[in-house]
Structure 1
Amino acid sequence: MKFLFVHQNYPGQFLHIVRHLVAMRRHEILFITEPNMNEIAGVRKIPYLRPALNNKETHIAARELDDGVRRAETVFKAAYGLKHLGFRPDIIIGHHGWGEMLNLRDVWPDVPMLGYMEFYYQFNAADVGFDPEFPHDPLDYPRIRAKNAINHIALNLGGAGQTPTRWQLSTYPDWARKRIDVVWEGVNLDACSPDPRAHRKPLKIGGMTIRPTDKLVTYVARDLEPYRGFHIMMRALPHLLRARQDIKVVMIGGDGVSYGSAPQQGGTWREQMLKERGAEIDLDRVVFPGRVSYETYIATLRRSDAHVYLTYPFVASWSLREALAVGCPVLGSDTEPVREFITHSDNGLLVPFLEPAAIATAVLDLLEDKALSRKLRGNARRYAEQRLAMEDYLAAYDATIGRLTGENPASAAVVAVPNLPTSFATLRRRKAA
């Protein structure tokens, strides 16, 4: 089969399915993306030049759509070039969030399309207005509503949609849900596995050494910001550190902004929260290593005695899935996306997002209760084995592709093209032949 993937940050959410298809050694896989350094052997990247975005002359409520149609125009040109060189995919798979796929129907009208539908924005539910510390101005509601313009166009392209959780599906209007399948995402259970030896040896991270006698509390986010409860976690630290001298805390994440906005005062959220709470925190026992290697990240989860995962009602992080697979005792915020993964007192604990003292108390209780810790660890891993297995995720993905194309990629015949093209020139020679 011939696959065309589209995502501005290759490979995005398609890492596992792309690797899966490559491993079959029977498919031709092209990927349209902005240029980056990521590589997967067996995949031909088709880079497009990022257009000028965030045009200040465009009304602020329409800028996301304006950016999307600019990307769509650029991706159209790349796709049209592929068509001119003789490439016709059996299916197009991509993320609808940035508008890149909006014009691909004009290139291949009859090719099945599977679009990743991540989130439907609302101004009066979910993330907006959830945290009273950051109230939203009603004058901003038109901009939030308009963020769904790409969603609406995408849903009317005639293709199919996919989303990774039932809660994310629930954010879409009733009329849209019937067009979107839930393809429950999995994790690599071998890479994300418990290690009973992790507590027997020192762990070094960010210049700090966690000894076997230390109690390690972990927190992970792509970026340290309010959407993932960073400000709440920072306010819980003084309670934790005063209560026990053997606690050490590792807070993994960058200083950028993945969701929401930067502090109005300037700087980063880490700087902001250290100004607010730094005098109450023993910084000899807290480390901010930034973004770390995957190996270091997994090693830290394996060593964790209590892993705190907080989020607004928004898209759940991969780190939640991976922490459960590793067998972490997870304390997750009692918010809708987390409740889809954690059953309180079974495979984790649910804690109130907005209450730092209650979060600290729950962590301390867990550190004291060895029987509860063992139960949560074992049940977290069993939950992952039953619900988060990568094999199940990929089989569901294969089935979805098969339903749309009439051919399951896992059973598709071997294509007659053993090697992917390495350049446009190769495609041209093949077309000429």
Structure 2
Amino acid sequence: MSQPPTHDFPFPPGPLAEPPEQYAELGAGCPVSRVRLPSGDQAWYVTGYDEVQAALSDGRLSRAALREPGAPRVVTGPDFSDNPYNLLNQEGPDHKRLRRLISPAFTPRRAAALRGTVQRIADELIDDLVAAGPAGDLHRDYAAVLPVHVICALIDAPREDRPKIQLWTDRLVSITAHTPEERLSAREESAAYVAALIGQRRADPGDDLLSELIKAHDEGDRLTGQELVWLGINLLVAGHDTTVGAISRGLFALLRHPEQYRLLAKAPDDRGLLGHAVDELLRYAPPSDFGFIRVATEDLTIGGVDVAAGEGVIPAMHAAGRDSRHVTDPDILDLTRGDANHLAFGHGAHYCPGAGVARLELEIAFGSLARRLPELRLAVPEDQVRWIGGLLTLRPEVLPAEW
């Protein structure tokens, strides 16, 4: 236990936005290994499918314990792990209560009702791409825009606020790309923004999720004022950031494998194929190569490795999709495969409550492009696409394409 770590975290992305090269090494011989974090603290990094699933479902690994004195930290200075009102950082009864309050927004029925809105947004963005010329930036003008517009529609936030919402999100989910001061500023500015939205919606309620949460606070006393603000921030940030990464990275994977994109282009309205495609792209090209750190509240064992109480554990749920024990030929992209096993939405108590809406967005994002732009292709050699590091999600600086 006192031996120095063998790897520095975070790992750089692999060539062509493939998973970090360390994943293959760790997955083959050491699915639970020691890492040194940017803060200087150490943690256990979990990469195997079975081991990640076990860690995510183990109640002895706690996000709330990150606020205890001496708990390991990923970065120095303030970050979103410090906030006790953040849904991601809660455990037990409070976590269950808050999930129950937001669950009506993410039912299959609500997701289905949202389909028309998402489709309209996607069509408008593709119209703008086509009007601008036979080439464009798929990240800036499509992947980075669609999820923000969807979440703005979900909570009835002005679409013109998208740029500052994106800026705050980049800083809040920063690992090494932004300073502690920038992260703190983003936290304060986004909290003030959501508080102002709450004031507007309280005066003029609507048929949106934020209005429903305000009602839970004002009428049922089931939500504190701080919880109300931070649920709004959770929706703004978690509600779109990972989807941006999933669309950008998924599109790059499809355009690197044109025969797979052509499968979609031949049947862009086949929801069965689109469902398989979404799972395969989440497995093969997940939005992030990181994982959220947890703290062991008592001694436990993961994958045959003993973890002591107080130590940090990072289940890399996005690494699990390349585990050959669960996926045949995991380094091959195949939209028709039947074993696209992944943990991109998590597992256990913290399973993503918005998974159904995210799947809907991804189906429409990929299917709409395949229908409207069947000849879509990269406009530069694939190795010239540069990727931004230091953020929770992986995204390109530019994703140039032509059609």
Higher relative contact order (CA 8 A, sep 6+): 2
Give the TM-score category using the shorter length: under 0.3
Larger Rg: 1
Higher-strand-fraction structure: 1
TM-score with structure 1 setting the length: 0.24
Higher-helix-fraction structure: 2
